[in-house]
Structure 1
Amino acid sequence: MAALPTAEAARPSRGGRPRDPSRDGVIRAAILRLLADVGYGALTMDAVAAEAGVGKATIYRRWRTKQDLVVDTIADLNRDEVHSPDTGSLEGDLRQIMHRFVGVVNGPTGAATLSLLSTMPRHPALAEAFRNGPLTVWNHTFEQMWDKAEARGEIGPAFRHSVAAESISALIVQRWLLTGLPVDEAYADEVLQTVVMPLVRSQA
């Protein structure tokens, strides 16, 4: 969670000049680091330029405002990190997708997301970018996985809309956001074996 079109293909540059794709990854990585370190309120366009090691004009050509910069970055989260697995079984696909989710929450994207959660209610554009960006990417990936599982006869059409389907990420998200306990692949495997797969089998 094939990947959706990249931002460069899907959206024009906000600044009016063509982007230099070779710098985009460096700039986005710098934005994520700063969001994790100082949060949205303290983030500045000049700080992004300094962190990325590029000129200020490079930033201002791409984005007119700080909100534009962060919205554009959020909208692209996970597009290159998440792809639909195809192991030949639903259990194998679930294991891969849960491991990828663990990798995301423990990486720069997860750290930046944590810093933004308290900001989103006051900035609807950020919340909309999150819904239309990473949440859409993950939902698309899950939909592809459900399609394959249905074709193999492992689940019925109703499963994808069930509470059981929601449980796949719920415990990992709860542990990540609320408990401060480690979120690792061993925990994801335990959730898969003791919670998710029994629910899948109960509705097969």
Structure 2
Amino acid sequence: MVAMHAAEPPRSARGGRPRDPSRDDVIRAAILRLLAEVGYGALTMDAVAAEAGVGKATIYRRWRTKQDLVVDTISDLNRAIAVPADTGFLEGDLRAMMHLVAEVTGGPAGAAIRSLLPAMQYQPALVEAFQSGPLAVWRSAYAAMWRRAEERGEVRSGLAGSVVAEATSALIVQRWLLTGEPVDRQYVDHVLDVVVMPLIRNARPAEA
């Protein structure tokens, strides 16, 4: 798999020695774990410092507020998400993409994002962080996948953004957000075989 975005150079702190990007990653991982455990409302800067094993000054040199800390962490997830390479045919691409969505939503990042849903109702910055981070990666990867399928003549034009396209991830997202049931590879493959591929077969270009 290939990285979707290259890492950006470390952002400078407000004075003092340069930030250590490896420590940033440790702190962000701690934030995701805590969000999954306690949610946004109960998250504190002190708890993040303790979970990451760093001093509070290290946290405050990087982020002034809890919202800054969480927004930066969620926005930065696009750096960590790797998208599958082109398999050469749509079913292979779909299987890889659906496995990716299941992996992300079923992991620490997915648990953290789910815990943020109540806060997103009154924190627009959190919504923007999700849209510009992991959601942007998924949308870009899916758009590229549908474009390749159209170029190969596997599907009719304009399928991206359609109900058929939405159906490829809808059941995974439903389990992630609503039911809490596990989303493993076996479930993803079953959804692909029973639901998605029959829809795709109906979306093939009309024969001349």
Q: Which TM-score applies when normalising by structure 2?
A: 0.90
- Residue 102 of structure 2 is matched in structure 1 by 102
Cα offset, 1:14, TM superposition: 6.7
Counterpart CA distance in 1 for 2:167 and 2:14 is 41
Cα offset, 1:176, TM superposition: 2.0
Cα offset, 1:101, TM superposition: 1.4
Contact 1:33 1:108 in 2 (8 A): yes
Distance 1:43 1:195, change over 3 A: same
3-state SS of 1:119 partner: helix
Q: Which TM-score applies when normalising by structure 1?
A: 0.91
Cα offset, 1:59, TM superposition: 1.0
Deviations 1:126-168 (A, max 9, x none): 1111111111111111112122212222123211121100001
Distance 1:182 1:28, change over 3 A: same
- Residue 154 of structure 1 is matched in structure 2 by 154
3-state SS of 2:83 partner: coil
Where does the alignment leave 5 or more consecutive residues of structure 1 unmatched?
A: none
- Residue 24 of structure 2 is matched in structure 1 by 24
Deviations 1:49-79 (A, max 9, x none): 1110112121111111110000000101243
* Greater fraction helix: 1
- Residue 80 of structure 1 is matched in structure 2 by 80
Counterpart CA distance in 2 for 1:161 and 1:178 is 23
Contact 1:14 1:64 in 2 (8 A): no
Counterpart CA distance in 1 for 2:13 and 2:23 is 15
Distance 1:13 1:202, change over 3 A: farther
- Residue 4 of structure 2 is matched in structure 1 by 3
Identity rate, percent: 65
Query: Number of residue pairs matched?
Result: 202
Larger radius of gyration: 2
Counterpart CA distance in 2 for 1:144 and 1:79 is 18
Contact 1:3 1:82 in 2 (8 A): yes
Aligned alpha-carbon RMSD (Å): 1.9
- Residue 56 of structure 1 is matched in structure 2 by 56
3-state SS of 1:70 partner: helix
3-state SS of 2:111 partner: helix
Contact 2:164 2:200 in 1 (8 A): yes
